[in-house]
Structure 1
Amino acid sequence: MELQETNLEGCFILHPKTFRDKRGSLTKIYHQDIFKGLGLDLSFKEEYFSVSTKGVLRGLHFQTPPMQHSKCVTCVAGSIYDVVVDLRKKSPTYADHFSLILDSKEPKMLLVPEGFAHGFVALEDNSVFLNRSTTVYSPECDAGIRWDSCGIQWPDMDLIISDKDSLMPSFKNYDSPF
């Protein structure tokens, strides 16, 4: 597995090895010792996936202390435009964002550290997003910021946004605990 830095400190793209033959392919997306060897000593506590139709925007979400978490995300079917925003006030990249396309044809993952908001847009129907987190979901610590308040250039398409995500506070009106 290869680790690639992004413009945001602590946020990495992970390129797993994919083995292909006439039957299809196999991609190992997590191996504890390999992660540790890359300096990523994380203990994942929860894993889930979502299935989205084209244009669904989910985000920008995060968990506040004491249930803040790091997570490793990927797309195992279809494709998504994935985005993170640095909410760490003392970080030199505070308020900056990073985006990339995650898709099932070229497997890669994004490691999102604590103190980041995360979201994505499904670029095709039946896109399957997989999330592995270092803490379990806590409704009391569930938070987010509006998807359109951080200067992110989202894909030019009709977006489908939940009422919950539409009502999140804007970035400038959110006092980050990180």
Structure 2
Amino acid sequence: MLEKIKTEIPGLYILKPKVFSDSRGLFVKIFHNCFFDDLGLRTDFVEEYFSTSAKGVVRGLHFQTPPYQHVKCIICLKGAIFDVVVDLRKNSPTFGKHLTINLKADEPKILYIPEGLAHGFMSLEDDTIFLNKTTTVFDAECDAGIHWNSCGIEWPDIPIILSEKDKNMVSFNNFDSPFK
């Protein structure tokens, strides 16, 4: 029921769920313990939340530091996002590299993000809904990020809306990663 697609970043996968469609709309199962288990993916998610964003909102690039680092599963439920992950694991062959992908509600894909990667996205449409599932709960002391525009990412050319927190994140070049 889920197709697991490897990316160039170790442990980062695109999951394509089976989509059932008829005149009523879509039916998409985005999580099932057995499916994840069969694919060798973690199933111990403990927190789930969603955000709504106007077109141009950038959220990220966020992560949690040890001991509250986590695996994330994300999906766009409404609208579209330009999604970004950056490898922060010092011993990874892709340390400092990033992957971008457009996620659209009408073409469901799940991004499975391992520990040690920063994540962010830009909303490409008004009223976009983004769902995030994590293997640890939010911890304010471990909440961290790097500056959204410090990793050579080519963001879409639309006016950007940022929080003060995200405007003031440390650049990637000045970040001392705690991830091995």
Q: Return the TM-score normalized by structure 1.
A: 0.99
1:23 and 1:77 mapped to 2: Cα distance?
17
Structure 1 residue 42: Cα displacement: 2.7
User: What do residues 23-73 of structure 1 show as CA deviations (whole Å, max 9, x unaligned)?
Assistant: 111000000000000110330000000000000000000000000000000
1:47 maps to a residue whose letter is E
1:60 and 1:75 mapped to 2: Cα distance?
17
**Alpha-carbon RMSD:** 0.5
Runs of 4+ in 1 over 6 A off after TM superposition: none
Structure 1 residue 92: Cα displacement: 0.4
* 1:154 matches 2:160: no
Aligned to 1:86: 87
User: What do residues 90-141 of structure 1 show as CA deviations (whole Å, max 9, x unaligned)?
Assistant: 0000000001011111000100100000000000000000000000000010
* 1:54 matches 2:55: yes
SS at match of 1:67: coil
Identity %: 58
Q: Return the TM-score normalized by structure 2.
A: 0.98
Structure 1 residue 21: Cα displacement: 1.0
* 1:135 matches 2:139: no
1:77 and 1:41 mapped to 2: Cα distance?
25
- Structure 2, unmatched stretches of 5+, are none
2:85 and 2:105 mapped to 1: Cα distance?
19
1:147 maps to a residue whose letter is W
- Structure 1, unmatched stretches of 5+, are none
1:46 and 1:70 mapped to 2: Cα distance?
11
Matches within 5 A, 1:39-118: 39-118=40-119
2:76 maps to a residue whose letter is C
* Number of equivalenced pairs: 178
* 1:177 matches 2:147: no
Structure 1 residue 163: Cα displacement: 0.7
2:176 maps to a residue whose letter is D
